[in-house]
Amino acid sequence: KALDLENANSAPTPATILLTKDENSDKREGKWHYCSVIGMFRYLQQTTRPDISFAVHQCARFCNDPKKSHEAAVKRIGRYLLGTKDKGIIFDPKNPSFLDCYVDADFAGLYKAEDPEDPVSVKSRTGYALMYAGSPLLWSTKLQSEIALSTTEAEYIALSQSMRDLIPTRELLIKASKCLKYEISEESKSISTVFEDNNGALELAKCPRMRPRTKHIAVKYHHFRDQVVDGKVKAEGINTNDQIADIFTKPLVPVKFQALRKRLLGW
């Protein structure tokens, strides 16, 4: 209602393009409050609709000075939600109670779209989802604070950031299961699997020592290596086409978006 889209056609995806500052574009014309609508979308994104995370985050970056292109992108999210307003997260109690993580990064994704003199244009994006019993438990999409120098570094930073949520969440689930007398299999208690589609990042995660070509990567990103060495976290490769976290890092064509959404949300 806030966007006056009640009679509009629905959209198959929440985003089609990477948004830029678009400084030479005209000011937006809509009478609705841009920041208020973004706030509504963020509430949905953080609670029951992880599928709009990327689209909402990139629109939220331009709250200070939204242009026509940003307004159009917000309306597209609205049209996508219009066609899926009866949807949410599907929890299947029959699924095994494993806590896994899918993580991905888009290396310098804005470089060809944004002004090359803008430092933001070379920042990479992290996206990940923690899945419990096959359903999303926690998810995130964000620009990395430091500039990665390669695809491997961007993927490794994303892997490290996802571990900051995965490791404490796993400990919390184990403690909660004891308090609530909820059965968790011994295998799921001892091991969580992180799915990463970059071989270089996987090698770095499994290697307990620094290497000359990657020693520039900040020490703070190596915090999880002990968990991998001890076997508490297993880092495994995954085909890019099956990488659920891809939905959090870039706009996708309808066929791929809907295939990944099916794996993420069950519909």
Of 58, 53, 51, 30, which Cα lies nearest the Cα of 42? 53
* 133-175 residue pLDDT tens: 899 999 999 999 999 989 999 999 999 999 999 999 988 888 8
- The fold of 99-265 is Nucleotidyltransferase; domain 5 (3.30.420)
Q: Are 24 and 234 in contact (CB under 8 A)?
A: no
* pLDDT given for residue 184 in this prediction: 67
pTM of the entire structure? 0.90
Residue 101 has pLDDT above 60, yes or no: yes
CA 67, CA 128: separation in Å to the nearest integer? 29
Per-domain boundaries in the chain: 1-88, 99-265
Q: Where are the alpha helices (DSSP H) in the chain?
A: 34-47, 53-60, 68-83, 151-180, 186-190, 199-206, 225-229, 254-265
Q: Between the CA of residue 134 and those of 49, 60, 65, 198, what are the distances in Å?
A: 15, 29, 39, 22
For residue range 215-232, list pLDDT tens digits in order: 556 566 677 777 887 788
| Cβ-proximal residues to 119 (8 Å cutoff; 6+ apart), any chain | 147
pLDDT at residue 46 greater than cutoff 60: yes
Mean pLDDT of 21-34: 85
User: What pLDDT, on a 0 to 100 scale, did the predictor assign at position 219?
Assistant: 62
